[in-house]
Amino acid sequence: MYRLQAEHLYKVFGADPEDGVRRLEAGAGRDELRESGTTAAVIDASFDVREGEIFVVMGLSGSGKSTLLRTLNGLNPPTAGRVLFDGRDLTALSPRELRRVRSHGISMVFQHFALFPHRSVLQNAAYGLEVQGVGRREREERATRALELTGLSGWGDSWPDELSGGMQQRVGLARALATDADVLLMDESFSALDPLIRRDMQDQLLELQRSLKKTIVFITHDLNEAMRLGDRVAVMRDGRIVQIGTPEDILLRPADDYVSSFVHDVDRSRVLTAGTVMEPPRRPDAGDCRCETVAPRTPLADVLQVSARVPHPVAVRDQAGEVVGVIAKERLLAALGDHDGPVTPCTGDTAHAAPPAAAPGVPAQPRKEAASA
Amino acid sequence: MPRLPLGDWTDSAVTYLRDHFGPLFDVISAVVSGMYDGLDAVLQAPAPLLLAGILAVLALWLRGLTAGVLAFAGLAVVVSVQQWDEAMDTLSLVLVATVITIVLAVPLGIWSARNRTVSAALRPVLDFMQTMPAFVYLIPGIFFFGVGQVPGIIATIVFSLPPGVRMTELGIRQVDEELVEAAEAFGTAPRSTLLRVQLPLALPTIMAGVNQVIMLALSMVVISGMVGGGGLGASVFTAISQVDIGLGFEAGLSVVILAMYLDRVTGALGTRVSPLGRRAMAAAASPRGTRLWKYRPQTSVAVVGIVALALTAGGMGVLGGGDEKAAVPEADDVGKGRQVDIGYIPWDEGIASTYLWKELLERRGYEPKVTQYDVGALYTGMSAGRVDFETDSWLPVTHRSYWEKYKNELDDYGSWYGPTSLELTVPSYVKGIDSLADLKGKGKQFGGRIIGIEPGAGMMKMLNDTVLKKYGLEGEYQVTTGSTASMLAQLDRSMKAKEPVVVTLWSPHWAYSEHSLKKLKDPLGAWGKGDGIHTLARNGFAGDEPKVAKWLRDFRLSEKELTGLEGAVHKAGQGHEQDGVRDWLDAHPGLTDRLAPVG
Ligand SMILES: Nc1ncnc2c1ncn2[C@@H]1O[C@H](COP(=O)(O)OP(=O)(O)O)[C@@H](O)[C@H]1O
Ligand SMILES: [Mg+2]
């Protein structure tokens, strides 16, 4: 079930946008258009956003992410192409109907929070409801609830500038949640926050999402964030979408050199999960010992720790407890190092044997004792 | 380069507008002067100190105790230098102009903030309005709106509109675009976005614009005083015309006090009305900040205070009933309360004769209204029928240029005093120069300058065209142009320093009794025969008021009478001219019946 569908969207800024689209369709590049003073911000973008998923659009600054996002709620009508919201063509709506969609169907969270400085936190959270024409009592009740959801109970009477950045963005989130619109557009909503706060907010968003099941289009330029949050990720480059896929798809099967150079710096251990790197169990008794096992969704970073403690390949169990695969240490290292294929044997004169492993249960000699001895 | 007849076009445009849109201008004029009269009536009703108290409570509420006390002290100074009535006239003028300006400027500002084309089209117009010297459109303004407060208010609006528009536009454009986008993203309609987000956030800037508008309006006060705007502007204008430095300072100080009061109060009002300002204020009010001088009454307390004072004021105004005029005996009541508008220029014989006629007409049951004007404004106003008559036209020379221009719309009732004389004058300590002929070859001594007066005065034309030529002084002397006031100030300055100076002067003039001066003889008769002081009236006045016209045609004063009258008026002091006239008339029984016979 698709909530939002984009069909061959173009957005060109300049004196004659339609002409820009014609030239793009005829094969002209972005740079050619720029020479004549027109900016092709979005070029031929098509994608579908499914009910209940977090769809991340990722790309460098200037790649057209914000422009694309603003076509999805009609703030920025596309030069060509269509946007379907629950099957309705947004580009064909009257301004009035469009405003109705915005106040009831699709809400938005901004990069720099965009809180109204002349309204209290509660009034900010209630803004969308005020526009809908909801009565004061109900509006404040619902806004208070939204603030609770985002962990801001008791802050309603404060003013936006009295809050830290993270808290301000929670107000922004509460404002978007209060309207009960079930599609959320988030434009680099966490980019302005400190790294620690950003992680917190990401966790909180994922947590909220588990219970609220909104449909979210999330914009970011941070690949780690994209991988962490996204059920699916679209990578944009110079106005075009170059790849759409799950985070693992993007990481393991980059569509082109651009994407692969992009994913180069990613912390693979946090994106890849046990399920994607496991191999079929070679022995039927793989799960019979009492050693620790992992779930298919466990990120490799956690599998590493388990693997370090277990003397044999780590078993992967599904929810039913069935062993569905195993991960050997070599396999783990290959996945993290982005290496495909078998281990190459040594070719020198002396073949090194593996060093003797410490016996399980015996801790390594503590350094301190060694020093005092 | 062919001469572009821009001036002629403007002239015909003005005439065309007056002829074809007269009713429209009359409506505007009626509305504006109605607003002014209404507000002025309210401000003039209460006793001065009581109203000063009300205004002080307002300051107390908005800014705290210190401001309240200072406001009261400042306003009390205005009362004590006897400029209160004028200050309230000025306040009414400024407030009416400001309200109209804001009503026009804010929507225009909003419009140009939302539409780049409008903004671009408006910019040069605003520049034009702000930089065009006010006098240039003030005089045509009289054509359209008549003399009095209205052209002054209109000129003020023209002058102060640009900052109002600009600050509104700026304020709205300054609002963070992400906030506007946020409003739109939640489905806010454009008009609501304006009301809910843009205007509240632009309010501090808009209020700063309002503040500027008020300050510019105050700066226009003097100029509107020259076209009959009255108030402190007229006081200042009188003072500079008569080189009355003391009065000038008192009136000027009153303008300053008014300006400071309005500035502080509107500034505080800005923080009061804007949500952001209220927040900042709440934040600043720390719990320990409740010291006495920071005390600000609650809104409710302030309202109660103001209402109580206002009620007292209203009650006293009603009970006091104003200053009742002595009833006119039935037999003398020729005028039956009909109004007569007398205009005058602040020259001594003009003031004296004008107030003489005011008193005479009151004694005959008329309701004369006297208004002071700049010369140009007076002639323009009279030709447009807004002034009935004036008694101080020096003809055929001094005011020739005005007479030539307006003679078709005016009637000359003849000369009531004369002959006057025009002359060049030097201080009596300048030795060896007794006649115009003696000036030749002495140009160095006077720095080659003859201190002149208004460039439009007939005397100046005559001096340049005839007198200098006849005595062969061209080239050696330059006639400086300025104003009568600046000429008198220069004379005063030179005499203090005992420097040689030669000025254009005329008799009668009070300068001759003030300073020891020497009129330069005119053996060649270059100045011609002296002017007579004429009474001029608008066309048709004789038909409307044949009796008054007859009195004016028969009006004559001897030199002794005129100097005596001027002396009495001078002694009574500014603001009490009519008392001086009464004293003088009392000392000359029978004069009333000679000048304005009932039979
Ligand atoms: N209103 C506009 N007018 C002209 N160019 C624009 C406008 N908005 C965005 N652009 C241009 O479109 C391109 C994409 O911008 P944007 O969508 O903001 O990128 P991103 O959000 O990925 O950083 C940029 O080159 C930007 O300069
Ligand atoms: Mg962006």
Within a domain: B116: yes
Do B248 and B386 belong to one domain? no
Cα–Cα distance measured from residue A161 to residue B279, given in angstroms and rounded to the nearest whole number:
11
What is the mean pLDDT of the segment spanning B133-153? 78
Q: What is the pLDDT of residues A243-288, one digit of tens each?
A: 999 998 898 889 999 898 888 878 888 888 888 888 888 777 766 7
What is the 3-class SS of A94-143, one letter each residue? Answer: CHHHHHHHHHHCEEEECCCCCCCCCCCHHHHHCHHHHHHCCCHHHHHHHH
Determine the 3-state secondary structure of B240 from DSSP: helix
- If asked whether residues B392 and B538 sit together in one domain, one would say yes
Answer whether residue B287 is part of any domain.
no
pLDDT value at position A336? 84
pLDDT at res. A354? 52
- Alpha-carbon separation of residue B329 from B324, B366, B590 (angstroms): 15, 12, 16
Half-sphere exposure of A115 toward its Cβ, with a 13 Å CA cutoff? 30
pLDDT score of A355 = 52
Instruction: Tell whether B436 and B414 lie within a shared domain.
Output: no
For residues B81 and B192, membership in a common domain is answered with: yes
Q: Are residues B162 and B263 in the same domain?
A: yes
The count of domains in chain B is 3
Answer yes or no: is the C-beta of A66 below 6 A from any ligand 1 atom: yes
Look at residue A319 in the predicted model and tell me its pLDDT. Answer: 86
- What ligand 1 atom has the least distance to the C-alpha of A68? 17
Q: Is A65 in the pocket of ligand 1 (CB under 6 A)?
A: yes
**Residues B391 and B465 grouped into a single domain:** no
CB-based contacts of A349: which residues, under 8 Å, 6+ apart?
none
CA B197 – CA A119 distance, rounded (Å): 10
Tens-digit pLDDT profile for residues B40-76: 999 988 889 989 999 999 998 888 888 999 999 999 9
The confidence score (pLDDT) of residue A352 equals 59
Cβ–ligand 1 contact at A67 (below 6 Å): yes
Asked whether residue B399 falls in the same domain as residue B428, the answer is: no
pLDDT value at position A360?
A: 46
Contact B552, B339 (CB under 8 A): no
Amino acid at B199: L
The per-residue pLDDT of chain B, averaged, comes to 86
CATH of the domain at B103: 1.10.3720.10
Q: Which domain holds residue B122?
A: 19-280+299-310
Is the beta carbon of A63 within 6 A of some atom in ligand 1?
yes
Range scoring the smallest mean pLDDT among A319-333, B38-52, B301-315, B451-465: B301-315
Do A227 and A271 contact (CB within 8 A), yes or no?
yes
Report the DSSP pairing between strands A232-237 and A54-59.
Answer: parallel
A271-341 homologous superfamily: CBS-domain (3.10.580.10)
> Does the residue B289 lie in any domain?
no
Q: Please check whether residues B32 and B91 belong to one and the same domain.
A: yes
- Amino acid identity, position B201: L
Using the 3D structure, point to which of B494, B517, B540 is the last residue of a domain.
Answer: B517
Q: How many helices and strands in chain A, by DSSP H and E?
A: 17, 13
Is there a single domain that holds both residue B186 and residue B71?
yes
Q: How confident is the model at residue B514 (pLDDT cuts 50, 70, 90)?
A: confident
B282 and A CB contact within 8 Å: no
Same structural domain, B236 and B185: yes
pLDDT number for residue A358: 46
Strand partners, B200: none
DSSP B457-507: -HHHHHIIIIIHHHTT-BTTBEEE---HHHHHHHHHHHHHTT----EEEEE
End residue of a domain, out of B487, B517, B547? B517
3-state secondary structure B512-553: HHHCCEEECECCCCCCCCCCEEEEEEECCHHHHCHHHHHHHH
Going by the DSSP 8-state scheme, the letter that residue A279 receives in this structure is B
B146 vs B150: CA distance, rounded Å: 7
Most distant CA atoms of chain A, gap in Å: 84
Which residues of chain A neighbour B275 with C-beta distances below 8 Å?
A: 118-119
Residue B1 has pLDDT above 90, yes or no: no
Provide the percentage of residues in chain B whose pLDDT is more than 90: 44
B252 in a domain, yes or no? yes
Tell me: do B395 and B440 sit in the same domain. Answer: no
ipTM confidence score:
0.81
The arrangement of strands across the sheet holding A240-245 comes to A106-109, A183-187, A215-220, A54-59, A232-237, A240-245
**Which of B290, B310, B330 is where one domain is finished?**
B310
Among protein residues, the one with the nearest Cα to ligand 1's atom 7 is: A13
pTM to 2 decimal places: 0.72
Structural domain includes residue B495: yes
User: Looking up tokens 């379907």, which residue turns up?
Assistant: A84
- Between the two ends of chain A, the Cα-to-Cα distance in Å is 69
Q: Which of B179, B181, B187 sits opposite A99 (nearest CB)?
A: B187
Q: Does A100 touch chain B (CB under 8 A)?
A: yes
- The counts of H helices and E strands in chain B are 27, 10
Q: Which residues of chain A have pLDDT under 70?
A: 286-287, 348-373
Q: What is the pLDDT of residue B297?
A: 67
Distance A62 CA to ligand 1 centre (A): 6
**Looking at the complex, does the CB of residue B187 fall below 8 Å from at least one CB of chain A?**
yes
Query: What are the structural domain ranges in chain A?
Result: 271-341
Rounded distance between C-alpha atoms, residue A140 and residue A194, angstroms = 30
In a shared domain, residues B410 and B426: no
- From residue B436, how far is each of A325, B433, B521, B526 by CA, in Å? 126, 8, 6, 10
User: How many Å apart are CA A110 and CA A299, to the nearest integer?
Assistant: 30
> Does B279 contact A73 at a Cβ distance shorter than 8 Å?
no
Mean pLDDT is lowest, of B252-256, B347-351, B494-498, B507-511, for: B507-511
Q: Is the pLDDT of residue B26 over 90?
A: no
CATH code of the domain containing B469 = 3.40.190.100
Three-state DSSP class for B371? strand
The residue type found at B186 is: F
Q: Give pLDDT, residue A365.
A: 44
Closest residue to atom 20 of ligand 1, CA basis: A62
Q: What is the pLDDT of residues B87-130, one digit of tens each?
A: 999 999 999 999 999 999 999 999 999 999 999 999 999 999 88
